[in-house]
Amino acid sequence: MCGIVGILGSKPVAIDIVDALRRLEYRGYDSAGIATVENGHLERRRAEGKLRNLETRLGTEPLSGTTGIGHTRWATHGRPIERNAHPHMNDRVAVVHNGIIENFQELREELTGKGYVFETETDTETVLHLVTYYLDQGMPPVEASRIALNRLRGAFALGLIFSDDKNLLIGARQGPPLAIGHGDGEMYLGSDAIALASLTDTITYLEDGDWAVLTRAGVQVFDLSGKTVHRTAIKSVASSLLVDKGNYRHFMLKEIHEQPEVIAHTLGNYIDMAEGAVKFPALGIDLAGVNRVTISACGTAYYAGVVAKYWIEKYARIPVEIDVASEFRYREVPLAPGGLAVFVSQSGETADTLEALRYCKKNGQVIAAIVNVRTSTIARESNTVLPTLAGPEIGVASTKAFTSQLSVLACLAIAIGRARGTIDAAKEKELVKALSEVPRHVSTMLRDESFYEGLAHEISKARDVLYLGRGVSYPIAMEGALKLKEISYIHAEGYAAGELKHGPIALIDENVPVIVVAPEDELFEKTVSNMQEVAARGGQIVLISDVAKEKAGCRLLSHIKMPKAHPFTTPLLYAVPVQLLAYHTAVVMGTDVDQPRNLAKSVTVE
């Protein structure tokens, strides 16, 4: 989950590499670096921390090479210090790497035994010495790279340049994505097409196991045995997706405010408002015959999946298995062939989600992917892609992607219910109408945020925050806690309100805010009882609900008044106040809202 770039250019490339890396910072921002080939030798600049530190460095110590590679890092092996920053290089080769070399220990011992000296704590440095070893045996760069690649185990995307051939750039993909860009007498390599968007819109995506030899005349793609494979170049729409913050202070805030539009846009793709019916694409499976749905995802996308479990079980009356992908993939879940498996992912590149998908595919499941990036690996490996139309999400904390995922999943629940006859046409109309009202409600909720600014000052004083919810509001409580902890660094936990008494209640005192997500649905009264339990122990309650605050029956620290809405759609609406609360608390805390510490937007390692 680092970002890598390579350019074979016709003029000095450092500025273009920095520009491409800027669009890859969502993949990590612990350090950044660039190496170029200059007059037969390699030159490098690196800097700890964000890309702007590298830019400052390049301002005083520029690079003039027309062939170069660059990297923005999310640290796995080795601390995020300059010494461990990529590119790693010696006088013959420079390498950038995204992913993990699993057999690095074994290779490190072997290469140390051969006299190669390791300077860093990274797994990447083994690639550098391995390629150098084969070069030292007299092999030309392409052959040395091929043999070295064959010896690597793990998940990686790599870019390599060589001091004695400034017309050569090698890329390799095993796991994490890698795109080749075609220019006019120039060639490019990038972790995604958006990185290359200002350079070219003609892209070839490498498949798993591919490696590529780029020269200024074009690219040749091979499999690991060295056999040429054909990969088609396509026109990418990435250039039209380039985004800026507009008038917003942070991308996260802008993305929160885009929700009425992207929810409407996404819903428009799956429902016919005029007919009051879902118009779902064929999933390659008879929905009427589906008797089990499996869902897997990570992080925020996982919570969208948990909401879907409640929806599908209630409205379509079939059991739904859901688990985080990192567990699911190793659980050896027994799956009867012919089931439907749904994978939810903003990036479409999350390594664990992808492996869970592959497991289900191998076990005869029909695969549907709910992704925001249609060209992603998860999209390409699925039987059906159900896109979320959220546009690029830049803030590391997911917001509009989440509500867009919920929009698709809500339609999926209706589609399965209709096919199975658990929902009739009148009920379908009612649910579709409820969904069609969501963008308007969200828009109203976003009109005035001054209230959240005040509340955020209170929350920012806390060391721990609890979020409670029941039924379909439980995953929203968990999502609220995740949002708060990831961007404000305040410890937060989401609990099923009924579980409170089985442990977390011990934490409650007057210093612990308890955020209660409680729309007035059939479970409201029960959640109110749990709220009383908190109040009796001095807990500071923030009630997010459509009921008047008097109905809480206890003293509240604050009441976030929600619009009245159909119970089916409350997860879509109640996601918004928990996002705003986390956002404004992070602003009060002065954290880096769009790029919180230690996190990355796209996680292509296990």
Residues that bind ligand G6P (CB under 6 A): 298-301, 345-347, 350, 353, 396-398, 599, 601-603
The residue annotated as part of the active site, out of 254, 483, 485, 601, is 601
Q: Cα 338 from chain centroid? A: 28
Pair 390, 301: CB distance under 8 Å: no
50 is a catalytic site residue: no
Q: Least distance in Å: CB of 11 to ligand G6P?
A: 35
Q: What long-range pairs does 244-250 form, CB within 8 A, spacing at least 24?
A: 249/587, 250/395, 250/583, 250/587, 250/593, 250/594
Strand order of the β-sheet with 165-174 is: 88-89, 93-101, 154-162, 165-174, 211-215, 218-222
Cβ nearer to ligand G6P, comparing 388 with 569: 388
Pair 285, 366: CB distance under 8 Å: yes
Q: Least distance in Å: CB of 453 to ligand G6P?
A: 24
Provide the token pair at 344. 């939810």
Q: Cα 308 from chain centroid? A: 19
Cβ nearer to ligand G6P, comparing 235 with 597: 597
Cβ nearer to ligand G6P, comparing 300 with 375: 300
Q: Least distance in Å: CB of 577 to ligand G6P?
A: 18
Beta-bridge partners for 542 = 515, 558
Pair 304, 410: CB distance under 8 Å: no
Q: Least distance in Å: CB of 169 to ligand G6P?
A: 28
The residue annotated as part of the active site, out of 2, 298, 360, 411, is 2
> CB neighbours (10 Å) of residue 32?
32
> In sequence order, what DSSP letters do the residues of 202-259 get, joined into one string?
EEEEPPTT-EEEEETTEEEEE-TTS-B----EEE--GGGG----TT-SSHHHHHHHTH
Cβ nearer to ligand G6P, comparing 125 with 594: 594
Cβ nearer to ligand G6P, comparing 402 with 568: 402
Distance (Å, rounded) from C-alpha 534 to C-alpha 344? 34
* The 3-state secondary structure of 177-199, one letter per residue: CCEEEECCCCEEEECCCHHHCCC
Cβ nearer to ligand G6P, comparing 385 with 603: 603
E strands, 308-417, in order = 320-324, 340-345, 366-371, 384-385
Q: Least distance in Å: CB of 360 to ligand G6P?
A: 16
Distance (Å, rounded) from C-alpha 150 to C-alpha 249? 47
Q: Least distance in Å: CB of 259 to ligand G6P?
A: 15
* The 3-state secondary structure of 528-552, one letter per residue: HHHHHHHHHCCCEEEEEECCCHHHH
Cβ nearer to ligand G6P, comparing 65 with 392: 392
- E strand or H helix that includes residue 51: helix 51-60
Q: Least distance in Å: CB of 136 to ligand G6P?
A: 40
For residue 567, say if its preceding peptide bond is cis, omega within 30 degrees of 0. Answer: no
Pair 602, 444: CB distance under 8 Å: no
601 is a catalytic site residue: yes
Q: Least distance in Å: CB of 425 to ligand G6P?
A: 34
Pair 328, 359: CB distance under 8 Å: yes
Cβ nearer to ligand G6P, comparing 67 with 76: 76
Instruction: Please identify every residue annotated as catalytic.
Output: 2, 601
